Amino acid sequence: MAFQSVFKIVDWKKENSEIDTKNSVLFGCGSSSCRRQKFNFSKYNSLKYFNSDIELKASTFQTKVNDVIDILETIQYNPYRLASNFRDVIVNYPANCVITSRSVISKIMNTPFEINKEKRKWIIKAKLTERGFIKLYYDEDSVSSTRSESFLKHDELLKNYLFTEKPQSYCRKIISLINDIFIEMYKISIGDHDLAFTTETPGVIFNEEITDIEKLRLSEHIYYELIDSEDFSPEVMNYNPIWWSKAVLFKAKQCIIGVYNRDNDNIQEIIKFNVDKFEDERLYENTWSPKAAWNFLNDFLSFVKNELEKIPEVDRKRNILKFQSFYNDKPYVVCERIQNDI
């Protein structure tokens, strides 16, 4: 069944609209096994530390990929379900708090800045939980998560060399498969909306072993990503709002990007830079700003909440709403409620 509810933004920059944004606050953390998909909230030994001695050259990694064995078995987890696994940790949250993941927030924030790319869209589901929270998550059928075995091996290899199991003062130079993923949970306020979200933490910089959340809050976080060389260009490296938002949401100060070449089956380049440069040296000053990203997120959350309120109260917790965005080479963004699932 189709709906006529449409959220259309032509002037999505809205430079004269200032949204009150509070910084992300870390309120929980733990380890999630790739196999179990359950959290152990007292476990810190899966947290990784940035190895500052590592030589950030592609040649460092060219002959190492064969050392990583059976990697597919360890990393086939579903990152889109992580947001629901920490619901019991959230206490004293107001009704209508949005529970989601960092990747979902980042995708929404950067939707307006991809309008020059034809036929790009996402589908996101919204559900009101029994506790009155709004769960916001990707429609799994619309998300392509297929990666080649070679890509996954290089991704895991690069992380294992960049991040060690111990702080720099006593790190060990070994390769070890990551069986557990370290997950952090943050809360943030955008305008009138409260959000709680999960994020995978690749690694941190800290001069001692972290054993409690206070030390974790003080540590410098690192944002990491491996990209396909087909998606790489000087323009991408100087301006990529997806990287900016993912890093800012969990207050990472540095980005490390590995460029993977599928034709040669290797990592061809590794680049490290500060997150602040995303704002100070961006190429598209007339089409992007942090304020515009926060404004768009605030407007979309208002749209979702308004659509949920249109459902009779007795049916709200049984309904799942689907929203899609689309922009086909036009100077505006359209987000539309497309379906009710019961």
Which tens digits make up the pLDDT trace of 175-184?
444 557 788 8
Q: Is the pLDDT of residue 37 over 70?
A: no
Q: What is the mean pLDDT of residues 333-338?
A: 78
> Is pLDDT of 238 > 60?
no
Estimate the crossing angle of helix 290-309 against helix 241-249, to 10 degrees: 70
Residue-level pLDDT at 118: 52
Confidence of residue 335 (pLDDT cuts 50, 70, 90): confident
69 or 267, which is more confident: 267
SS (H, E, C) 33-68: ECCCCCEECCCCCCCCEECCCCCCCHHHHCCCHHHC
Beta-strand (E) ranges in 262-319?
A: 266-274
Amino acid 83: pLDDT? 44
For a pLDDT cut of 70, what percent of the chain falls above it?
64
Sign (positive/negative) of CA torsion 276, 156, 183, 140? positive
Band of residue 206 on the pLDDT scale cut at 50, 70, 90: very high
Q: Are 7 and 300 in contact (CB under 8 A)?
A: yes
pLDDT given at position 76 = 43
Q: What is the pLDDT of residues 53-73, one digit of tens each?
A: 777 887 777 656 555 544 444
User: Could you give the angle at the alpha carbon of 258 between the alpha carbons of 256 and 260, nearest 5°?
Assistant: 170
Question: Residue 2 in 3-state DSSP?
Answer: coil
Domain ranges of the chain: 6-341
Distance in angstroms (rounded) separating the CA atoms of residues 293 and 173 = 40
Mean pLDDT over 110-135 rounds to 75
* Section 114-130 average pLDDT: 72
Please answer whether residues 183 and 32 qualify as being in contact, where contact means their C-beta atoms are separated by less than 8 angstroms. yes
Q: Does residue 170 have a pLDDT over 80?
A: no
Whether residue 292 is predicted with pLDDT greater than 70 in this model: the reply is yes
Best mean pLDDT range from 26-35, 174-183, 248-257: 248-257
Q: How much is the average pLDDT of 16-30?
A: 74
Report the chain's mean pLDDT, rounded to a whole number.
74
Token reading at 156: 């895991």
At residue 155, the pLDDT reads 82
> What confidence score (pLDDT) does residue 176 get?
46
Q: What is the pTM of this model?
A: 0.84
pLDDT at 283 over 50: no
- Identify which has the larger pLDDT, 106 or 65: 106
Q: Is the pLDDT assigned to residue 19 strictly greater than 90?
A: no
Local structure of 153: helix, strand or coil: helix
